[in-house]
Structure 1
Amino acid sequence: MMSIETPEPALNLAFEWAKAAMDKGMVDNPELGYGLVAGWGPAEGGARPGFGWFFGGDAAINSYAMTGYGDFESMRAAFRFLAKFQRADGKITHEISQAAGMIKWFEEYPYAFYHADTTPFYIAAVYNLYRQSGDIKLIEELWPNLKNAYQFCIDNDSDGDGILENSKAGLGASELGSLLEDLHQDIYLAATNLEASFAIRELAEIMKDTQLRDLAEQKYQRAFASLNELYWNQTEGRYIYALTKSGKQNTEVTAWAAVPMMFGQLDARRASLTIRTLSSSQISSDWGARMLTNRSPAYDPMAYNNGGVWPFLTGFVASAEYAYRHNHSGLAHLRQLARMTFDHSLGFHPEILSGDFYRPLDESVPHQLFSSGMVITPFIRGLLGLRADAPKKSLMFSPQIPASWDKLSVRNYLFGKSSISINFRRTGLTSLSYEISKDDDDPIKLQFEPSLPAFARINRVLIDGKAARISPNQSDYLKPALSLETTLKRRTLIEISFTGGIEIEVPDSPTQTGDRTSSLKILEVMPSSANSLNLSVEGLSGKTYKILARAPNGIQEISGAAIKGDENGWKAISIEFPATEGDPVYQVKLIQIRPR
């Protein structure tokens, strides 16, 4: 299994505990079979552990963590389990009680097929496992189930936009509350269906089903256009929550727009604008992302779907932030998830917390797998930027390593039958090295796209001591600073040297149980054409915050903040927010830093 070593011991330990939390979800029921449950709760007055049911959607979400750290065998079992209970029309089950083998669960209870999202997410998750494991035999085994599941998606698209509908197929993002009012289709369901079409298109090509491949391609293109246009609100400058039965947009601000962004499905500029909202205090508390903005009339900090903080949604938001290179807010959310490991349910993560105070809701499940898994998914997909395609022997590595980290080690990242390890080192302010090793001689094509300090000018890039051909990018901050391709050997060393540039570090803001939200929010860090780094930040009125900046050639000018001294090679920058009458409120401020 994959393990990590960063300069932050709490993050390293949280990663290990998250793996343990996930492993404890594998259950062998003598009547039902071996599968993955959603979590564990107290027994209360009963004789068995609370909760502990099999949930299809949770399994799909959890699979991105479990596949990522290499537990292929458990995920094969989980997907086979769900396939066994697939409905005749292709729908994948939402939840199965441990007692389902002794009662008429599927016939007399309404919960088994409650949700629509489980079916497309199942397709996407199986495909994700195939991409990293290369297990073609599993695809051949589950191909009838996958085709049947995709047919369910097609059959429940009544308006021809390439996406099935909540109004026809079932629940998605929300199970109760105001977000269900007049609901036709939500952005979460749309994202999972788009990813399912992509998956079926690729898998049908492998299975030599050209008719299905072409159909999936048509559905994908139609759904891609629908998602990017129908869910965009030009006036608000962001993607919205849902489409209504009355043909309008539900413009509520929710965290759910993060799901298509995690998959990289949205226009980069528009996604970046949307992330500004997700990173702000209206969605982001100091312990994670609220499902619904605290500015909504329907907001209730104690409500299950109308304001509570969900760690799994926080993981989606962090993954989205990394996907569109908002790495400072992505790291803040990742640290919040890691810290939660050591509060409340020691070693595990709760299901849901209050939107106003750092504490779980009373009804929250104390050991929720899809909460724990989000320590892992944003780290692998986001901070490391690892995307495997083992069948095509191709690996994407697009790291966004925090500026304060001088080293990072990744051991035993599984890629097909290969094991890959990565060692990152930062030497001084202008030199980076990535040593990538693997345990066999099978060739792997590496697409390497690391982040660099803003305005850094690349001097040279060496691969095993020889000059590399690179594609530099100095104009689009939403894209990596450079891109190169090479073939991985047993040991490959990539060295990058550069001059100039500027980096920002936002110190972590530890949160204690019962605290309210008060930390600085980083909405955007954007290089400008005037050679200054623009920081859009949000802080509480009457409060002063500190960030750190580092530039090899020094800082020439700063506006909107003040330099207050030196800290281990960094400039300490003080940001003050003026006091207001009444209770403190969050305000937005622009900081400009110009390096020499």
Structure 2
Amino acid sequence: MAPRHNVRILDGSTFVVSETTGDIEATPSEPTGFFSLDTRFLSKWVLTVNGERLTELSYDDLQYYEARFFLVPGPATHYIDAKLSIIRERVIGGSFRECLTILNHDEKAVDLEIRMDAAADFADLFEVKDEILNKKGEFYTEVEPDRLRLGYRRGNFRRETIISSLEPARYDRNGFAHTIHLEPNEQWQNAIDVRTAALGPGGRELRMGLRVQRRERPALQADLAEWLANAPTVNSEHDHISATYRRSLIDLAALRFSPLSLGGQTLPAAGLPWFMTMFGRDSILTCLQTLPFTPDLSMTTLRILAALQGTRFDDFREEDPGRILHEMRYGETVAFEEQPHSPYYGSVDATPLFVVLLDEYQRWSGDVALVKELEQECRRALRWIDEYADLVGTGYIWYQRRNTETGLDNQCWKDSWDSISYADGTLPPFPRATCEVQGYAYDAKVRAARMAREFWDDPAYADELEREAAALKERFNRDWWVADGGYYALALDPDGRQCDILSSNIGHLLWSGIVDSDRAEQVAQHLVGERLFSGWGVRTLAEGEVRYNPIGYHNGAVWPFDTSFCAWGLRRYGFAEEAAIIANGILDAARYFDGRLPEAFGGYPRELTKFPVEYPTACSPQAWSTGAPLLLLRTMLGLEPHEGHLAVEPRLPVGMGRIEVLDIPGHWGRMDAFARGRLDLHKLA
């Protein structure tokens, strides 16, 4: 594995990315700094002792919200005779506090100048990502006797960083300093607070009462303990399974995000560092993965997305009535409509997936009240599928961006510019329709029919939805099947020509149920075949395709979330052994990442690399990668709600030994599931 180059701690939408010394020196190409709500509130935070920079002996990122750095002055050659050591302890809970401890190991007293250089460029995260920092507002600095205030204003948009020290300090425009005297074996301690202010019209703080306000370490510890206690317990013969599960739960806790103006409710943010905000698709898919373990996330996600459902036609934001948002941002470029994310609706899969999650949540929780509460939002989402998403008139969901400046070209989950192509590698024209989205639409109609019949007292609507779903399935299996390959095309172009390449999207088709039963075995064999399955997971694009690249973002890399849905799809069609093969690969890969699966990793064959190769810019932690081990546990244990009860039908590989999942929540109360590995994957392979 490549070495770690920075330390990351986070709490919801607030995070710090620093060097392994704890210093922050922002660069154009990397999101280093202290961020909150899409703004960098510290771009420089450098500690020196007597003018010397510090070098790390070691560091610990103790929990997602805290880190500790052990340092000495000067370069590494001074380690042996170091007479001073410095400990930096950092806790983030909305804002952050840093505690300094300076220890004198010398036999004589020392006089020290302790200085922290501080600066804030107030860069919008989009500016950092695009490496374009062209601020149009005014910076200001206020040096006060007991604090340093760094600020930026542009019209009614104001952001401030307020720095204060427990021990008296000398503040100036570039930071603050202390002069201290230490006797032999004496130590000096200080606590530094860095608070943020997000001010709107009239100087009003926009985040009053929300989770982004400062939380102290005891509150953070208690919150995490409660989160872990409420989730099921996973025990296994092999520690890496339990450790990966616990790591996933902790990372999910870290990624909980509270949107502004929605009462402090939380849903999963997509991932650190670029996507610490609300994403419709990512939040929904993460909730589907984690439903048996953290069901409350699904309830709040559904309510929040319903509250922000599209109501009008807006080309800038690509909003339609009934459409579920893609992404919400709070930075300067959004405030001044230089970006459309307030919110931006350029996603074609979040809307059908919203309906899918509502039904799946009810099947697990028994929460009929929420299904009734969100009936109209569901109906509007289904109307969007039929009335606004079919841009070509063929009964499929298509996409073509209307915001030609900053909108997304590809509005499916594989949203990079070159992810959709023909077999010869050329890119198709727009509009485009990708296969997995049609599966989501089919599943949404089938599930909505159940809700209409059982909870909305509308059997006629249920019958209509079932007829539409059946027609979609028949049409899809005719138009998308690549007969000479034995799989479904990745996409169609507006003339109906197939993008006839083999991709991981076929696994999502199994999960949705749109695959004809007589074709399912061919699809299953592709998913575990050498072209798609690397030994660690399912490649996004099959080896041998023109655009295949093992470290291509959507053209050959392995995405753990993607593989987890492929496994779930295999299990749905009865291919439990094949599901176990790819689940085992991902869980093995997790060992090499200390239980924290990244957004993506290389699609190289397992026998070639012997370990999963890190993708250079992958988010970590990332919500739906964090959810992948939980969904794979559900899949291998065969956990399914069935007529108000929890059904358990385990199919585990021999090497996994015994696994038990205790206190699984649902409308059955709490139940336990036990399994022992009995599948010989070597024989299956």
Distance 1:215 1:106 in 2: 42
Residue matched to 2:621? 367
Aligned residues: 422
TM-score normalised over the length of structure 1: 0.65
Residue matched to 2:238? 8
- 2:358 maps to amino acid: V
The answer to whether residue 438 in structure 2 is matched with residue 190 in structure 1 is: yes
Distance 1:417 1:105 in 2: 48
The answer to whether residue 305 in structure 2 is matched with residue 82 in structure 1 is: yes
The answer to whether residue 465 in structure 2 is matched with residue 216 in structure 1 is: yes
The answer to whether residue 660 in structure 2 is matched with residue 420 in structure 1 is: no
Identify which range, 3-12 or 369-378, moves more after superposition: 3-12
- Alpha-carbon spacing, 1:397–1:227, altered in 2? closer, same or farther (3 Å): farther
Q: 1:122 aligns with which of 354, 357, 365?
A: 354
After superposition, the C-alpha distances for 1:511-534 in whole angstroms (9 at most, x for unaligned) are xxxxxxxxxxx8xx5xxxxxxxxx
- Alpha-carbon spacing, 1:8–1:112, altered in 2? closer, same or farther (3 Å): same
Matching of residues 324-343 of structure 1 within 5 Å: 324-343=573-592
Q: Give, in angstroms, the shift of residue 106 of structure 1.
A: 10
Q: 2:512 aligns with which of 263, 273, 278?
A: 263
- 1:20 maps to amino acid: I
- Alpha-carbon spacing, 1:121–1:165, altered in 2? closer, same or farther (3 Å): same
Give yes or no for contact 1:65–1:373 (8 Å, CA) kept in 2.
Answer: yes
Matching of residues 14-413 of structure 1 within 5 Å: 14-31=244-261, 33-42=264-273, 50-69=274-293, 71-88=294-311, 89-99=321-331, 103=335, 108-109=340-341, 112-155=344-387, 156-157=389-390, 162-167=395-400, 171-175=411-415, 176-179=417-420, 181-182=428-429, 184-205=432-453, 206-344=455-593, 346-356=594-604, 358-380=612-634, 382-389=635-642, 392-403=643-654, 407-413=658-664
Distance 2:413 2:340 in 1: 25
Give yes or no for contact 2:397–2:438 (8 Å, CA) kept in 1.
Answer: yes
Distance 1:219 1:104 in 2: 42
Give yes or no for contact 1:349–1:366 (8 Å, CA) kept in 2.
Answer: yes
Give yes or no for contact 1:289–1:313 (8 Å, CA) kept in 2.
Answer: yes
Give yes or no for contact 2:490–2:501 (8 Å, CA) kept in 1.
Answer: yes
- 2:279 maps to amino acid: F
Give yes or no for contact 1:349–1:369 (8 Å, CA) kept in 2.
Answer: no
Give yes or no for contact 2:659–2:674 (8 Å, CA) kept in 1.
Answer: yes
Matching of residues 484-495 of structure 1 within 5 Å: none
Distance 1:106 1:227 in 2: 39
Give yes or no for contact 2:334–2:340 (8 Å, CA) kept in 1.
Answer: no
Distance 2:457 2:269 in 1: 35
Q: Give, in angstroms, the shift of residue 202 of structure 1.
A: 1.1
Give yes or no for contact 1:3–1:410 (8 Å, CA) kept in 2.
Answer: yes
After superposition, the C-alpha distances for 1:538-593 in whole angstroms (9 at most, x for unaligned) are xxxxxxxxxxxxxxxxxxxxxxxxxxxxxxxxxxxxxxxxxxxxxxxxxxxxxxxx
- 2:418 maps to amino acid: G
- Alpha-carbon spacing, 1:240–1:409, altered in 2? closer, same or farther (3 Å): same
After superposition, the C-alpha distances for 1:176-209 in whole angstroms (9 at most, x for unaligned) are 2051523632111011101110121111112112
Residue matched to 2:681? 506
CA-based RMSD: 2.8
Identify which range, 53-62 or 102-111, moves more after superposition: 102-111
Distance 2:304 2:331 in 1: 15
- Alpha-carbon spacing, 1:405–1:293, altered in 2? closer, same or farther (3 Å): closer
Distance 2:517 2:338 in 1: 43
- Alpha-carbon spacing, 1:131–1:505, altered in 2? closer, same or farther (3 Å): same
* Runs of 4+ with deviation above 6 angstroms: none
- Alpha-carbon spacing, 1:13–1:108, altered in 2? closer, same or farther (3 Å): closer
- 2:623 maps to amino acid: L
Q: Give, in angstroms, the shift of residue 355 of structure 1.
A: 2.5
TM-score normalised over the length of structure 2: 0.57
Q: Give, in angstroms, the shift of residue 52 of structure 1.
A: 0.4
- Alpha-carbon spacing, 1:75–1:105, altered in 2? closer, same or farther (3 Å): farther
Distance 2:268 2:296 in 1: 15
After superposition, the C-alpha distances for 1:449-468 in whole angstroms (9 at most, x for unaligned) are xxxxxxxxxxxxxxxxxxxx
Q: Percent of aligned pairs with the same residue? A: 20
Q: Give, in angstroms, the shift of residue 87 of structure 1.
A: 0.7
Q: Give, in angstroms, the shift of residue 119 of structure 1.
A: 0.4
Give yes or no for contact 1:35–1:54 (8 Å, CA) kept in 2.
Answer: no
Could you tell me which runs of 5 or more consecutive residues in structure 2 were left unpaired when the two chains were aligned. 1-230, 312-320, 403-409, 422-427
Give yes or no for contact 1:388–1:394 (8 Å, CA) kept in 2.
Answer: yes
- Alpha-carbon spacing, 1:330–1:190, altered in 2? closer, same or farther (3 Å): same
Distance 2:584 2:335 in 1: 43
Give yes or no for contact 1:239–1:257 (8 Å, CA) kept in 2.
Answer: yes
Q: Give, in angstroms, the shift of residue 424 of structure 1.
A: 4.5
Give yes or no for contact 2:490–2:499 (8 Å, CA) kept in 1.
Answer: yes
Identify which range, 323-332 or 218-227, moves more after superposition: 323-332
Distance 2:648 2:296 in 1: 24
Distance 1:395 1:161 in 2: 40
- 2:569 maps to amino acid: A
- 1:310 maps to amino acid: W
Q: Give, in angstroms, the shift of residue 161 of structure 1.
A: 5.5
- Alpha-carbon spacing, 1:178–1:338, altered in 2? closer, same or farther (3 Å): closer
Give yes or no for contact 2:661–2:674 (8 Å, CA) kept in 1.
Answer: yes
Q: Give, in angstroms, the shift of residue 62 of structure 1.
A: 0.7
Secondary structure of 1:190's aligned partner: helix
- Alpha-carbon spacing, 1:319–1:424, altered in 2? closer, same or farther (3 Å): closer
Distance 1:377 1:406 in 2: 18
Distance 2:338 2:292 in 1: 32
Distance 2:575 2:459 in 1: 39
Distance 2:351 2:338 in 1: 16
Q: Give, in angstroms, the shift of residue 231 of structure 1.
A: 2.2
Answer with 1 or 2: which has the greater Rg: 2
Distance 2:620 2:324 in 1: 26
After superposition, the C-alpha distances for 1:87-106 in whole angstroms (9 at most, x for unaligned) are 11100001112438971569
- 2:636 maps to amino acid: L
Distance 2:340 2:268 in 1: 21
Distance 2:649 2:393 in 1: 36
